[in-house]
Structure 1
Amino acid sequence: MRSTITGLTAGLLAVSSGVAAQAASREAVEGWDSPPACVHINTDWRYTFVTNDCTSAYDVTVVYRDGTNVPCRLASPGDIISFPGYGTQGNKVLGVALCTTDGDT
């Protein structure tokens, strides 16, 4: 039993570190910058919510697998902003990205 748990733990660690490395390499390739950890994303088929739990405002957008382009929006501290979800066709939401709104100079 103990060897099974140890093996499962090692496997989960390997998978989770691989996912983190894949996310880091995706950001480098696609050129989008992730916001700090205090900006959270929650997705479902209809809506994607971005919550800013930071003390600073950030301009954010959502990145989709199929390249759907959604406007950059300002997320002030405490804001919850809605974006389109992944839809009934299963368009994957890859994450939230920092961007520049038209009002920024």
Structure 2
Amino acid sequence: MAACLLQAAPAGAATTGAAAPSCVQHSTSWRYTFVTNTCDSSQRVTVEYRDGSTVPCRTASPGDTVTFPGYGTGDNAVLGVALCPATAP
């Protein structure tokens, strides 16, 4: 009998999946994914991966670059950058 394992998303992980605006750009390598915010306002973002892995959201102020894991040695492609829900004040 096959067992089904569910992985809970870590606190702060994206739940919307809405694509980040075009003023949020990313570049990726096997080790890191750099997300740069060139928007006029702060953006709360995460990176989406081919295998569905989740990583915590990060807030990038205008002009900031935040770092996420890259695609790794298993070539887990970075699909894009997604917006995260705003945090409570």
Give me the TM-score of the superposition, normalised by structure 2: 0.78
Distance in 2 of aligned mates of 1:94 and 1:36: 14
The structure that has the greater radius of gyration is 1
Cα offset, 1:100, TM superposition: 2.4
Any runs of at least 4 consecutive aligned residues in structure 1 with deviations exceeding 4 A, and if so which? none
User: Is the strand fraction higher in 1 or 2?
Assistant: 2
User: Is the helix fraction higher in 1 or 2?
Assistant: 1
Distance in 1 of aligned mates of 2:53 and 2:21: 23
What SS class does the counterpart of residue 77 from structure 1 fall into? Answer: coil
Distance in 1 of aligned mates of 2:21 and 2:54: 22
Matched, 1:65 2:23: no
Distance in 1 of aligned mates of 2:69 and 2:21: 22
Unaligned runs of 5+ in 1: 1-30
Deviations 1:20-50 (A, max 9, x none): xxxxxxxxxxx61111111001011000000
What SS class does the counterpart of residue 36 from structure 1 fall into? Answer: coil
What's the % identity of the aligned pairs?
Answer: 60
Give me the TM-score of the superposition, normalised by structure 1: 0.66
Unaligned runs of 5+ in 2: 1-15
